[in-house]
Structure 1
């Protein structure tokens, strides 16, 4: 939503009339899962290792690794749990997440090799939200989200 919460300290604002309207109506709930888990901004880039996905992290069969080599898997699990708790506490039924992120990617994430290549998959928070019945949309799917919430 325009806050500078990305790992590199930058923002990735989403602009859409429906988002503005929902915000004015008090219908938006915002969170950066990683910041909710205490991760700093800026922070080293992180990816899910070995081309795996968020569901594998939740199952304990994949790790989230920083470009510096640090294992931050537990932080990403906590981040996902925080996002789910907020969604459940507020009655949230839909999530609009930034694609590519090891936390919020919902259609594609980076491949774990810090090469800039993406593959089909989802981040840890996206996986946990979906597992719990939250409808997840990528940032490039705003129109589909609007249609689902507001109708045609």
Structure 2
């Protein structure tokens, strides 16, 4: 799936209640969690809880890295001092920023109040990311897209917190 398709696809379903309306809330979701093979290694990492979430909300898929122009597969990148750099030292920060801007644009356009993003990703990680040494060390911090989504007022959840979001949207 190309970048445009990964930022425009959505999954619809039956109507459910949310804050007294019949409209289902829209939730931005990392495309890799939906089973799209868009990760840096060309694989997906489908999340079991997505099925339950999609029963309650409209899913809006995005891969910020692909939306920013990066290929599938691509060299892994990590964050250090606010920059996204590949293992071989190539600075890909601008592609990450473009993808983050596209994710924010899409979330705002579709009325997303929440996002479920891939944990620890240099783009989508929220709360902790890898430290930039490519040694598997996690540090406190947010991926570039996650930070921009939060700054735009969108509540960000990692996939390990999907049950919390489901409970929240079903109220």
TM-score normalised to structure 1 length: 0.86
TM-score of the two chains, using structure 2 as the length reference: 0.77
Aligned counterpart for 1:74 among listed residues 94, 104, 128: 94
Q: Which residue of 2 aligns with 1:28?
A: 59
Rounded Cα–Cα distance in structure 2 between residues aligned with 1:113 and 1:44: 14
Matched, 1:38 2:58: no
Which structure shows the higher strand fraction? Answer: 2
Match for residue 101 of structure 1?
121
Unaligned runs of 5+ in 2: 1-33
Runs of 4+ displaced beyond 3 Å: none
CA deviations on 1:3-37 (whole Å, 9 max, x unpaired) are 11110111110122422414xx6x11000011111
Matched, 1:7 2:27: no
1:1-152 paired onto structure 2 within 5 Å: 1-16=34-49, 17-22=51-56, 27-49=58-80, 52=81, 62-151=82-171
Structure 1 residues not aligned, in runs of 5+: 53-61
The residue number in structure 2 matching 1:55 is none
Q: Deviations over 1:91-137 (max 9, x none)?
A: 01100001010000012110111101111211000000000100100
The SS at the match of 1:107 is: strand
Q: Which of the two has greater helix per residue? A: 1
Q: What CA distance in whole angstroms lies between the structure 1 residues aligned with 2:53 and 2:38?
A: 19
Residue correspondences, number: 137
Q: Distance in 1 between matches of 2:60 and 2:110?
A: 8
How far apart, in 2, do the equivalents of 1:137 and 1:150 lie?
16
**RMSD of equivalent CA atoms:** 1.2
Q: CA deviation digits over 1:26-84, x for unaligned, max 9?
A: x11000011111111110000112xx4xxxxxxxxx21100011011101110100000
